[in-house]
């Protein structure tokens, strides 16, 4: 009887080897996906520090629930789901602190050295001024590499809605780019 109770216990070597496997899995997830996740978070909240906090919180939760992740291929959408939930929670917590952010604070403070940087910077502002509901599917598609169907699942929307939003997002950016020469000159001036 006593042997039965205590016999069930895994040997400590086994436990630590399980821990080691878990650690390896976790580190692989972090290395493989932290950049995408950070960028997604950034486009969700527009603030570097908040994005970093979100990613940290997400990976912490991921660690705790790591055993429930059976399919490594699903890891990215799994993490994104956690991060979206964390982001929503942030709004629940800090509703009273919410305010319209200044457009100027969105842009990063990196020095714009090359033509490419200037263009990126300009386009970032345009992406930022897209409605949230257009921007999120676009980020998921371009950065996350998700299909329309996967995005629909992640955002709990139907696929047609997602495709329409993607179309509008690119359409608006295209139009903005076509007006670019004037826009850019006012920007530089």
Site residues, other proteins (CB under 8 A): 19, 23, 26-27, 30-31, 34-35, 38-39, 42-43, 48, 52, 55-56, 59-60, 63, 108, 110, 116, 119-120, 123-124, 127, 138-139, 141-143, 148, 163-164, 166-168, 170-171, 173-174, 177
Task: Say if CB 156 and CB 131 are below 8 A apart.
Answer: no
Q: Please state the closest distance from residue 116 (CB atom) to other proteins, in A.
A: 7
Give the list of residues 6+ apart from residue 122 with CB closer than 8 angstroms, or none.
180, 183, 184, 187
Cβ nearer to other proteins, comparing 27 with 103: 27
Q: Please state the closest distance from residue 22 (CB atom) to other proteins, in A.
A: 9
Cβ nearer to other proteins, comparing 9 with 95: 9
Q: Please state the closest distance from residue 4 (CB atom) to other proteins, in A.
A: 18
Give the list of residues 6+ apart from residue 98 with CB closer than 8 angstroms, or none.
91
Cβ nearer to other proteins, comparing 80 with 138: 138
Q: Please state the closest distance from residue 124 (CB atom) to other proteins, in A.
A: 5
Cβ nearer to other proteins, comparing 17 with 95: 17
Q: How far lies 95's CA from each of 53, 89, 90, 103, 125, in Å?
A: 17, 10, 8, 20, 25
Distance CA 107, CA 98 (A): 19
Distance CA 58, CA 93 (A): 16
Torsion over CA of 184, 47, 39 and 82, rounded to 10 degrees?
A: -150
Q: Please state the closest distance from residue 157 (CB atom) to other proteins, in A.
A: 13
Helix (H, G, I), strand (E, B) or coil at 2: helix
Cβ nearer to other proteins, comparing 54 with 95: 54
């Amino acid at each position: 009887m006593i042997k039965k109770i205590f016999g069930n216990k895994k040997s400590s070597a086994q436990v630590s080897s399980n821990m080691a496997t878990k650690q390896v899995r976790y580190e692989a997830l972090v290395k493989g996906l932290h950049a995408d996740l950070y960028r997604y978070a950034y486009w969700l909240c527009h603030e570097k520090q908040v994005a970093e906090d979100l990613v940290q919180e997400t990976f912490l939760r991921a660690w705790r629930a790591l055993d429930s992740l059976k399919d490594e291929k699903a890891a990215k959408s799994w993490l994104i789901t956690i991060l979206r939930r964390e982001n929503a929670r942030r709004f629940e917590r800090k509703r009273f602190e919410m305010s319209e952010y200044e457009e100027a604070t969105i842009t990063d403070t990196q020095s714009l050295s090359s033509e490419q940087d200037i263009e990126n910077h300009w386009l970032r502002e345009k992406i930022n001024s897209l409605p949230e509901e257009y921007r999120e599917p676009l980020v998921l598609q371009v950065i996350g590499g998700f299909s329309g169907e996967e995005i629909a699942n992640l955002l709990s929307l139907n696929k047609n809605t997602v495709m329409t939003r993607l179309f509008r997002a690119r359409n608006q950016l295209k139009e903005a780019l076509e007006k670019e020469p004037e826009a850019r000159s006012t920007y530089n001036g």
